[in-house]
Amino acid sequence: MNFIKIVEALIAALYFCGAVVNVGGAVAGRKKAVRAGAALTLCGFGMHTGVLCVLIAAQWSTELTRSDFYFSLLAWSLLLIFFLLWWRLNASFLGLVAAPLALILFISSMTLGGTRLPLPPALSGLFFGLHIGALFTAIGLLAMACAAGAAYIVIEHKIKTKEKLSGFFKTLPPLPTFDKMNRLAVAAGFPLYTLGLISGFIWAGFTWGRTFSWDPKEIAAIFIWLLYAFLFHQRVMIGWQGRKTAWMVIWVFGLTIASMLGINFLLPTHHSFKS
Amino acid sequence: MQYEICLIGLNHRTADVEVRELFAVKDSRALEERLLAAPGVREAMVVSTCNRVEVLGVGKAGNDLAGLAAAAWAGHCGREPGELTPHLYVHANLAAVHHLFYVASSLDSMVLGEPQILGQIKQAYRAAVENGSTRVIVNRMLHKAFSVAKRVRTETGIGASAVSISYAAVELAKRIFGDMRGQTAMLIGAGEMAELAAAHLQNAGVSGIMVVNRTLERAEELAKRFSGRAVSFAELITRLPEADIVISSTGSPTAIIRARDVKEVLRKRRNRPMFFIDIAVPRDIDPDINSLDNVYLYDIDDLQEIVEENLAQRQEEAAKAAEIVDLATEKFGHWLASLDLQPTIVDLLSFGENVAKRELKKTLRRLGPDVSPETEQALEILVLSISRKLYHEPLVFLKRRAREQSADKFIDLTRRMFNLDVETVPGDAHLDRVGDDEEGDFPLVGGEDCVSDAPVDKPAAAAAVSTVPTGPTGPLAEDGRD
């Protein structure tokens, strides 16, 4: 589909310009540039939505077997969460992370091409959809909270050590804004992550006949879930906030990404992107 | 230059407070009127604040405007000019413009970058406008001063950071808590700085203030002032969990808040952040608490350091601001130069029109009475447009020169070249063109031949000025843009 390829190149170009203008604007402290960058990214996002819809509508059974589709979908859900957070929490600074990350994911999706995933009989589509949807939303939230957490840690350290906030740091919002991202990633992200895991296991039960098969990815996921659960408990029950929770979200997100890229590409697993 | 701008004044650097008191101008309107009554003075404006008095005047060149202004000012205050002059600074023309821009941008303020002065100048200007004591030059000067001040504020960080201890504390609190509404501050002990900080916090939106003091009466008194609650000293630790911001300034020789108290308090608060400001010497709060998560402690030295850094930063930003002021002053100079140019343009165009009309008349006479009105009109349009087009290039040239440098030389050359000042004409025919005329009140241009001719159509000449196509860099075009 040549038309789709052209549109994809256009989307990548929009994401690229959006990311450059956004990051440049944020570093130079120009609000208008940040907005313009976000607007470019939003244009790309709109076209991206269209492309995804077309792909799913036209040939959804084959698309679901393509690894590039998932990267594209992850880029899309990341941006969706970014725009929602901007709209609800006025967290424009997240564009610093969301725009470049979406760009990288999208370009990887374009370069990956059509490597295949062994795909399930149609029966289990619901659980598979839940598995991908819930996990990707949780990962998107984690990515945003990870960026916010890094900012929190740096600024908190500066305040603690009485260092002056200057230049770029001065333009960032106050500490509670970053902590709000963290709360969202924990309070909403953890249930979603749990849902994603459970639906994955159920789907595996339907498709492979075994819910748990000691796949490296499954082991990693359980480990991350335990860490996530601990964070959820400390944050929601004990009332942890600030630095510790910021660090933990960074760990959870880092491990998730590591397991996604490392295990999916390098180790023998059901989740491999290689055919 | 036809007119001279003069600004005299005194400020906190040139005059002690006693002198400033003596020469403070309470009724600026009266002084403006007194100054306007002096010979040759056309515009006047007075700014008087507790730190400075600035008297701005515009008048005919070569009249010792500074002396007139000083005399009027001293007279207004019932003093001798001799008492005033040693404390004065005097700026003429572009230096005066520069000074005004500099002051309005708060670069000359006692605390560098504090913006009150801009409001005071705006107020003084409004009063002067209502009083009718300003005209073209002062109006434009002030409008430019306001826009320069705005540029300085937005393009440099001169007013960006706190330069007082209490304000620095509030800025930090905003960083830590974000929204100040819903936060509670606890004031332990009293003292000017603590109260100032509490007042700043309240302005920033803090919703509750608790006052703790060893003597409960004193606490109640203070609590009343901030419409807060008084808390007895014994209850300090038990009430501490309610406080988000704690300002301590007691005379206690030992620490009154210890790290293990705070640990307990944090648990009760479910780790909600706390900000301790210790402005007591010796310190009231155990410095170790700064290592606890979600607890921030600043003592007086920390805050002092921030203030000093911010002041140093303002100093740096002031250099950038000075560049903006210099640039604006230069631009204003171009405008002033174009003011000088204006009469010459009018004269030159009128001269051309006169020649054209004279020749037209001769031609019409020769053609006799049979000429149709249409032809007559067409001929008139023809000769006038030729005369205007002929002068177009010289005018563009003059305008460009006027922007680049002092155009005096070229203006002078042009006037002599076209004999615009009619030097060969005997004294009685000489039209006084440097009279106290208004803008738009253009002098008649005449020569021997002209006298017999129809009088110059003054409005037409004036209109011609605006119809002259201006080069892209012409001062008139620039005026339109601003």
* Residues in B touching A160 (Cβ below 8 Å): 290, 296
- Judged by average pLDDT, the poorest of A123-127, A199-203, B319-323 is A123-127
B121: left (phi over 0), alpha (psi -120 to 50) or beta: alpha
Residues 6+ positions from A129 with CB-CB distance below 8 Å: none
pLDDT at residue B221, rounded to an integer: 87
Residues of chain B with CATH 3.30.460.30: 3-155
Q: Using 50, 70 and 90 to split pLDDT, how confident is the model at A64?
A: low
- Per residue in A170-208, pLDDT (tens digit) is 778 889 888 988 988 888 889 889 888 888 888 788 777
State the pairing for strand pair B274-278/B295-299.
parallel
Nearest chain B residue to A234 by CA distance is B270
State whether A81 and A111 are in the same domain: yes
Average pLDDT estimate for B116-136: 90
One-letter amino acid for residue B311 of the chain? L
State whether A63 and A140 are in the same domain: no
State whether A142 and A247 are in the same domain: yes
Which of these three, A89, A117, A145, is where a domain ends? A117
- Judged by average pLDDT, the poorest of B94-103, B132-141, B214-223, B452-461 is B452-461
On whether any CB of chain A is under 8 Å from the CB of B174, the answer is yes
- Per residue in B233-260, pLDDT (tens digit) is 888 999 999 999 999 988 888 889 999 8
The secondary element (H helix, E strand) that includes residue A6 is helix A2-28
Residues of chain B with CATH 3.40.50.720: 165-293
State whether A91 and A124 are in the same domain: no
State whether A145 and A193 are in the same domain: yes
Q: Using 50, 70 and 90 to split pLDDT, how confident is the model at B404?
A: low
Average pLDDT estimate for A147-164: 90
Helices B458-467 + B300-367 axis angle, to 10: 120
> At the top level of CATH, which class does the domain B3-155 belong to?
alpha beta
pLDDT at residue A254, rounded to an integer: 92
Angstrom distance (rounded) from CA B6 to CA B9:
10
Q: Are A96 and A151 in contact (CB under 8 A)?
A: no
Computed over every residue of chain B, the mean pLDDT equals 82
Residues B175, A160: C-beta atoms closer than 8 Å = no
Average pLDDT estimate for B119-123: 92
Which of these three, A72, A95, A117, is where a domain ends? A117
State whether A81 and A22 are in the same domain: yes
State whether A152 and A79 are in the same domain: no
The domain of A40 spans 1-117
State whether A246 and A113 are in the same domain: no
* For residue B476, pLDDT beyond 70: no
Top-confidence range, B204-208, B444-448, B466-470: B204-208
Q: Using 50, 70 and 90 to split pLDDT, how confident is the model at B474?
A: very low
Average pLDDT estimate for B341-349: 81
Token reading at B112: 């560098």
State whether A18 and A111 are in the same domain: yes
- Which residues on adjacent β-strands are paired with residue B248? B188, B278
pLDDT at residue A120, rounded to an integer: 53
Neighbours of B430 (CB within 10 A): 13
Average pLDDT estimate for B207-226: 88
Residues B178, A174: C-beta atoms closer than 8 Å = yes
State whether A161 and A209 are in the same domain: yes
- Judged by average pLDDT, the poorest of A96-105, A243-252, B432-441 is B432-441
> Taking the model in full, what pTM does it have?
0.63
Task: Check which CATH number belongs to the domain holding A243 and give it.
Answer: 1.20.120.1770
CA distance to partner chain B, nearest, from residue A160 (Å): 6
pLDDT at residue B427, rounded to an integer: 41
pLDDT at residue B200, rounded to an integer: 86
Which of these three, A77, A93, A117, is where a domain ends? A117
State whether A178 and A220 are in the same domain: yes
pLDDT at residue B458, rounded to an integer: 40
On whether any CB of chain A is under 8 Å from the CB of B302, the answer is yes
How many CB pairs (< 8 A) connect A and B?
A: 47
Residues B302, A162: C-beta atoms closer than 8 Å = yes
Number of structural domains (chain A) is 2
Q: Provide ipTM, 2 decimals.
A: 0.71
Token reading at B449: 């031949």
Residues A159, B175: C-beta atoms closer than 8 Å = yes
Q: Is B6 annotated as catalytic?
A: no
State whether A85 and A170 are in the same domain: no
* For residue A113, pLDDT beyond 90: no
Which of 3.30.1370.100, 3.40.50.720, 3.90.260.10, 3.40.50.300 would CATH assign to domain B165-293? Answer: 3.40.50.720
Q: Which residue has the tokens 């880092």?
A: A254
